[in-house]
Structure 1
């Protein structure tokens, strides 16, 4: 069992850190809102620290799951950042969905300090975090990854090294491209079935057994039909992720016309007040 820190105790980070504690790791936590860190300690044990630097001091692995590139730089760099408190040979594992550029920048900064760095965005949403069923896509060197994989598997059902620094973030971008297209297609399909006066649940049941089947259909199809969007991955988060990957596409020359269009559809959902609705709420703009 390892001595670890976890920075960021939101809907993803809180359960992930909890699974580390349940597996017997010695966990120190930091959260920007101190009350949330204190509540986590009360529920899970461990220790709360006042700054990322204090949380990282003496730890073998420091995990983070924060909001965006700026948040990530905020908890890693500077006088109170985690890098300032980490000992040589320890490893920083970042589960934030951030840019590949930020991952490479921080990997270089860590290397100059004698630290390891793994970018490790996750897929599976809040339910995956709560049920220790996340999929983790990692970037970094193989030797560093091998030292942290057992701890990652405390809250993941699968983890894989995809290549050098930034490769985890690039793989997560591929994941989000797929989801954007699938959810839009499913939204249009359900909308069409309603207008055709079909039994939508029956339609989903039969077509899910064939080539049209997907995770989104199995887990979100019926709730989309019922216009229930109060769970899962929020529209605001999806737009943040799509913004990152569309910027990367402009850099590498990838053509993503459908993804760019779906990003604008999510903007429509935000304009409807659906910022915190689940991403399956794309159907709402068709039903309005």
Structure 2
């Protein structure tokens, strides 16, 4: 069992850290809101620290799941950052979805201090985190990945090294690109079914068994039909991720016309007041 720190206790990080404690690891948590860290300790045991540096002191692995590039820099860098508290040879594992640019920047800083670095964004949302069924896509050296993977297994359905540092984030971009178009297609399909006077449940029961089937269809069609959008990854965060995808596409010379269009549809949802709705809320743009 490892001594680990977990930084960031949002809807994804809170249960992830819980799985680490349940697996028998010695866990110290940090969260910007101290009350949430206290609540985590009350539920799972372990300890909490007032700064990332103090949480990271003595840890074999420091895992984090925060909001964006700037949040990640804040928990890693500076006198109170995790890097300042980590001993040489320790590994930082970043589960945040951020740009490959900040990933490579921080990995370089880590290397200068004798630290390992693995970018390991996740897919599966809140339900995947709570059920310990996340897909984890990793970038880093084979040695750093080999140290991190047995700990990540506490909340992973699959954990795979995709290449060197940054490869995990690039794989997560592929994931978000695929989801964006898929959810829009599902929203249009359900809206069309309603206009045609069909029973949405019957439609999904039939078409989900064929080539149109998807996780989103099976798990989100009923709540989409009812207009309930409190079940997963928020639109605000999806737009952050799609901005990363579109910026990377420009750098690579890749063409993402559907992704760019769906990003604007999510902007419409934000303007409707749905920034905290989950990503299935694309259907709210369409007439009933």
Alignment TM class, shorter chain as reference: over 0.9
**d(CA) in 1 for partners of 2:49, 2:153:** 24
Give the distance between the partners of 2:45 and 2:195, measured in 1 at CA: 53
RMSD (Å), alpha carbons: 0.7
1:169 aligns with 2:169: yes
1:58-207 superposed matches below 5 A:
58-207=58-207
Superposed CA deviations along residues 230-269 of structure 1, whole A, max 9, x for unmatched, are 1111111111110111111111111001000000000000
The equivalent of 1:9 in structure 2 is 9
Distance in 1 of aligned mates of 2:287 and 2:49: 47
Distance in 1 between residues matched to 2:229 and 2:276, nearest whole Å: 9
Taking structure 1 as the reference length, the TM-score comes to 0.99
TM superposition shift of 1:287: 2.4
**1:36-64 Cα distance to aligned partner (Å, 9 max, x none):** 11111111111111110000011000000
* Aligned counterparts of 1:283 and 1:263: Cα–Cα separation in 2: 14
Structure 1 residue runs of 5 or longer lacking an equivalent are: none
When the two structures are superposed, what TM-score results if normalisation uses the length of structure 2? 0.99
Q: How does 1:241-260 map to 2 (within 5 A)?
A: 241-260=241-260
Aligned equivalent of 2:217 = 217
**DSSP-derived class of the 2:28 partner:** strand
1:67-116 deviations in whole A, cap 9, x for unaligned?
A: 00000000001111000110010000000000011111111111111000
SS at match of 2:143: helix
Q: Return the offset for 1:215.
A: 0.7
Write the distance in 2 (CA, Å) between the matches of 1:15 and 1:199.
Answer: 36
Which residue of the partner structure matches residue 208 of structure 1?
Answer: 208
Moved over 6 A (4+): none
Tell me the SS of whatever aligns to 1:287: coil
Separation of aligned partners in 1, 2:58 and 2:230: 40
- Deviation readout 1:169-207 (Å, 9 max, x if unpaired): 000000000000000001111111111111111111100
Distance 2:282 2:175 in 1: 17
**Match in the other structure for 1:37:** 37
SS of residue paired to 1:59: coil
Q: CA deviation at 1:228?
A: 1.3
Give me the whole-angstrom Cα distance separating, in 1, the residues matched to 2:194 and 2:280.
16
Give the match's secondary structure for 1:266: helix
**How far 1:223 sits from its partner (Å)?**
1.5
Q: Secondary structure at the match of 1:4?
A: strand
> 1:220-235 maps to which residues of 2 (within 5 A)?
220-235=220-235
Q: How many residues align?
A: 288
Matches of 1:6 and 1:25 in 2, distance apart?
A: 11
